[in-house]
Structure 1
Amino acid sequence: IIRPPGAGPEEEFLQKCVRCGECMRVCPTNGLQPMGLEGGLEALWTPWLVPRVGQCDYQCTLCGRVCPSGAIRPLTIDAKHEISIGKARFDRNRCIPWVGYARLSELKARWEDVNCAVCEEVCPVPTKAIRFNTFKLDAKREIRRPFVIEDLCIGCGYCEKVCPVAGEAAVRVEGRRGKIELPEEAPVPDIGQLFPKQVGRWRLLGKPTVYVGAKGLFEYIDGGAPPYLTFAFRWAAVAEYGDSGGQDKVKVDAWQFESSDGAFGAFATDAYGNPIDGVADRAFRYENYVWAWRGRYSLKGEPREGTPSAEAVTAFVRAVARNIPGPVTMPPSLVRRLPAEGLVAASVKFFHDKIILDNLYLAGEPIEENVFRLGRGIDAVAAEYKFPQGRGYRMLLIRYPSRQQAAQVARDFARYRETQWGEKSER
């Protein structure tokens, strides 16, 4: 059952809904329909979304605005975009590209283009909740198999509505079960004295800008936000400093996360160059760019205008780090398990989600499926090692909740290497 965005827990919704039909009358796509006996007698005539009839329009909040009983809470457009009313699922026995992939031996002999991408094309989520695993038959032929990024899917039903498969769609939205958490307006944090008003001859230019939550981060860095959201991002504060004796400007970012491990992961995602001491818990510098990690904060200093020196940028990051209270923080425990000999310090990446792994190219081949079953509750670290005579290798270390799960992933990866890369491995 897919309820309208703004509807609360099912029991509460059924108590408040008066079956007036106002929400269905104003629905611009006719996607809201009166329920029959699918939800039992107590749900009869209540509104539910039937995506095959019509999707939940991404820019529409009419149902909450006309509901007279409070069963559907009025929402702003931005608040609606934060709510997931369901999750899309692909039926691989009906989806055109997936069926084509199953007929791979036949396709190799007689190629038929089985690529269908309408679901991804119509997905209204800015970063696309539907993406593709691409299997290349040869230099000119490929099959793009769609899959859903669950953390991004809001259950709007656009994909199900336009699916060209006759009858039941090959991609269907399943309603959320249990309590639906409606987003509250996040308060702007008090950044206090995080940014000093003056560092040497440099002065703070105006009030720092603060970006709160996922919406704020998308506003700040647009499509670059998803990797950092996997680390439980809370807010980012951005300040600019100007040189009183010249035209140079420096920008300093301070991003707060829910945990020090999350902050380390975000810091490690960007950090590059050579390690520098005496700045924060850990820091790197490349030319006049500086990245640092301090407790639950990931910091960055960079030139904004002109050519400020590396020492000047470093001084700003150090000054902000000193304003963050607390003892020295240790890196995540999995990072501390990495062998020290030959380790390239700036290569260490700590993460939970495949979206980070996609940018690492650890194996020299794209790992398109989530064969390692990365996600919440899974810690992973990747690193590079270099030794004399040019020898080197890359390491991927993943910690699973149980030995059984780790063993199953190892078997899955061995099978993946055989089927996707043509490698043979001993099991």
Structure 2
Amino acid sequence: MPDPLTRRRFLLHAAGAGAAFAGALAALHAAWNGPLAYVGPDARRRGLIRPPGARAEEELLSRCIRCQRCAEVCETGAIRLLPSGSRLAGTPHLTPETSACDLCLRCGPACPTGALEPLASMAQARMGLAVVDKRLCVSHNGTGVCGACFTICPLKGKAIRQGTRNAPEVTGECVGCGLCEEACIVTDPKAGRAIRVRSERAWA
């Protein structure tokens, strides 16, 4: 008959190992299903893009009650809510490569807590900054003449200016709506569009 003390130690060890395994599974589940996995490494590099009028990150997270009203009033479907898996869950973000913000500015007034502030003009919507990859842009690399980003820009002549062959030059007046990215004719399998919005907000 086994020593009761030895059996007890075995059961305690097994219980501990089981708890550790369960913890590892939970961590793995979070890694695969949390916001960082949801957006992928490319989106992590570009930064977290919040809707127009978004307050500083910590204040936004404390004010946002995850009511989804901003997403409900967004007619273009640009505002999406982050899935479960971290403290970012249920908060709004944008993915310009699939659906850009048209700067209707309805999301701010719809927010009941001020996590998104109402804005008086498009120029106040500081979501990010468009960055041109001159290696991919056909107007810059000499393989064509485009101008799609300039044509669709709601702050035409201010946020984006054109050079030779319609080559775009982004200025500090860009608000990061992403319409240029959505309209870009270049779709590189690895690098994506020739013009992409980037944000200084980090995924957490």
Q: TM-score range by the shorter chain?
A: 0.5 to 0.7
Q: Which residue of 1 aligns with 2:150?
A: 120
Q: Structure 1: how far apart are the matches of 2:83 and 2:145? A: 37
| Per-residue deviation, residues 112-136 of structure 1 (Å, max 9, x unmatched) | xx001000011111533212231xx
Q: Which residue of 2 aligns with 1:164?
A: 185
Following superposition, which runs of at least 4 residues in structure 1 exceed 4 angstroms of deviation? none
TM alignment of 1:9-408, pairs within 5 A: 9-36=56-83, 41-58=86-103, 60-76=104-120, 78=121, 80-100=122-142, 114-134=144-164, 143-150=165-172, 152-166=173-187, 168-177=192-201
TM-score, normalised to structure 2, is 0.67
1:92: Cα distance to partner? 2.0
- Seen in structure 2, the aligned counterparts of structure 1 residues 132 and 11 have a Cα distance that, compared at 3 Å, is same
Q: Which has the higher contact order (CA 8 A, sep 6+)?
A: 2
Unaligned runs of 5+ in 2: 1-47
Counterpart secondary structure, 1:14:
helix
Q: Which amino acid aligns with 2:110?
A: V
TM-score, normalised to structure 1, is 0.33
What is the alpha-carbon root mean square deviation over aligned residues?
A: 2.1
1:5: Cα distance to partner? 1.4
Q: Which amino acid aligns with 2:99?
A: G
- Seen in structure 2, the aligned counterparts of structure 1 residues 83 and 115 have a Cα distance that, compared at 3 Å, is same
Q: Structure 2: how far apart are the matches of 1:44 and 1:99? A: 41
Query: What percentage of aligned pairs have identical amino acids?
Result: 40
Q: Which protein is richer in strand relative to its size?
A: 1
1:31: Cα distance to partner? 0.9
Say whether the 8 Å CA contact 1:55–1:158 is kept in structure 2.
yes
Unaligned runs of 5+ in 1: 102-113, 135-142, 179-427
Q: Which amino acid aligns with 2:154?
A: P
Q: Structure 1: how far apart are the matches of 2:137 and 2:156? A: 23
Counterpart secondary structure, 1:30:
coil
Say whether the 8 Å CA contact 1:87–1:155 is kept in structure 2.
yes
Q: Which residue of 2 aligns with 1:5?
A: 52
Q: Which amino acid aligns with 2:75?
A: P
Q: Structure 2: how far apart are the matches of 1:41 and 1:93? A: 36
Q: Which residue of 2 aligns with 1:264?
A: none
Q: Which amino acid aligns with 2:100?
A: Q
Q: Structure 2: how far apart are the matches of 1:25 and 1:156? A: 18
Larger Rg: 1
1:11: Cα distance to partner? 0.5
